[in-house]
Amino acid sequence: MTQIRAAIAGIHGYVPKDLLTNADLEQMVDTSDEWITSRTGIKQRHILKEPNTAVSDMGVRAARPLLEKTGTSVDEIDLVICATSTPDLVFPSTACLTADKLGIKNAFCFDVMAACSGLIYTLTTASKFIESGSHKCVLVISGDKMSSIIDYTDRKTCVIFGDGCGALLLKPTTDGTGILDAELQSDGSGAQYLHMKAGGSLKPASHETVDAREHFVFQDGGPVFKRAVQGMSGTLRTVMQRNDLAADDVAWVVPHQANERIIRSVASMADFPMERVMMNIERYGNTTNGTIPLCLAEWEKHLKSGDNILLTAFGGGFTWGSVYLKWHYDGAAASNGQTPISVF
Ligand code: COA
């Protein structure tokens, strides 16, 4: 029997129009463009400033053009998964809210929370529903409004993060393309280095938690940096060995965009020349679940059917891993000269 695989059948990105540049941050905290650029590679981030807008709105803005360009009707979608760490609300899920705004009625919907590894966890989860034959058209929303949980008085974190989102369509295929393998790992003992102190059931919101500024990202950057390099390069190596892939066999590596130095270290440890490593952190910062979709969307026109692609990510949890896929469609024809990332 021919093996059914889940293939990415389309992608589109969205970032809000407002920019937060290094020059802006120099006015807000004790930092400099030189420090931010040399330590992280970031020059600017997009920030969602419109009142009463959240991840579901960014999801809708990424998904509508995706459905249009892939000729997909909302009635075809039978599963919606949203990868986010900044859900609109604690509940209901942002997947439910996004599906409602898009008019999707025939799908079941849920969120995946795996911090910056959310997209690779979600693709792997979604692929199982497709491979089993139970689902045929999966909409993945992957993004974050990081500005909602960043302390803009904390120079150690506020220079890193931005807002952004992607939408991907997954469909069954039997032509040998699609998601072929994944190595996903987690280590909850890493929580001490990257977490939000309050707002969950452990420490519900109170006057005290607000006064203590505990509703923001806390990060001890050094240990996170080290584990990110180890986790991403280690799982890339595992997936490559398991699938008999040499660096030359891989068309593109798509790393989570956390820090340019992390990306360059991972590429050099796995022997990938930077020309085949997607990197756009300079213009978007770390958009958490948005980074890999924004890269894939931006590079869509270069992607060819049969290209071997490796996605790799690391995030809070700790969570990390790598996914191996063979690209399904001719990206140049699908993008048709249109902008792959909407900005408004
Ligand atoms: N501007 C100027 N100085 C800053 C600064 C800023 N924005 N942020 C920190 N510093 C200072 C620190 O206070 C420290 O000063 P000190 O030596 O006087 O105490 C010095 O710079 C070095 O700080 P350190 O935290 O050791 O810097 P770093 O080289 O590790 O870079 C990160 C910090 C956050 C950029 C880096 O650790 C990192 O990227 N970590 C991983 C982050 C990540 O991937 N997070 C998401 C998970 S996916």
Domains of the chain: which residue ranges? 5-176, 179-343
**Do 5-176 and 179-343 show the same overall fold?**
yes
Euclidean distance between CA atoms 298 and 138, whole angstroms: 21
Q: What's the pLDDT tens digit per position in 267-290? A: 999 899 999 999 999 999 999 999
Euclidean distance between CA atoms 10 and 162, whole angstroms: 24
Q: Is 46 a known active-site residue?
A: no
User: What is the CATH superfamily name and number for domain 5-176?
Assistant: Thiolase/Chalcone synthase (3.40.47.10)
Q: Looking at the domain that runs over 179-343, which CATH code has it been given?
A: 3.40.47.10
What's the 217 CA to ligand 1 centre distance in angstroms? 14
What's the 84 CA to ligand 1 centre distance in angstroms? 24
Q: What is the mean pLDDT of the chain?
A: 97
- pTM of the prediction? 0.97
- Give, using CA atoms, the residue closest to atom 48 of ligand 1: 315
- Annotated active-site residue in 256, 259, 295, 308: 256
Q: Which whole number is the average pLDDT over 196-214?
A: 97
Residue 2: its pLDDT value, please? 83
* Atom number of ligand 1 nearest to Cα 313: 48
What's the 243 CA to ligand 1 centre distance in angstroms? 36
Residue 55 · residue 290 · CB < 8 Å: no
Contacts of 325 (CB under 8 A, 6+ apart): 7, 8, 123, 177, 178, 179, 180, 309, 311
Is pLDDT at 1 greater than 80 in this prediction? no
Q: Is 286 a known active-site residue?
A: yes
Choose which residue among 20, 31, 121, 156 to substitute to test ligand 1 binding: the one with the highest number of ligand atoms within 8 A of its C-beta. Answer: 156
DSSP-derived 3-state class of residue 78: coil
Name the pLDDT band for 108 (thresholds 50, 70, 90). very high
What's the 4 CA to ligand 1 centre distance in angstroms? 45
Residue 62 · residue 141 · CB < 8 Å: yes
- Give, using CA atoms, the residue closest to atom 2 of ligand 1: 31
Q: Is 158 a known active-site residue?
A: no
- Annotated active-site residue in 22, 286, 289, 308: 286
Residue 177 · residue 4 · CB < 8 Å: no
- Give, using CA atoms, the residue closest to atom 30 of ligand 1: 222
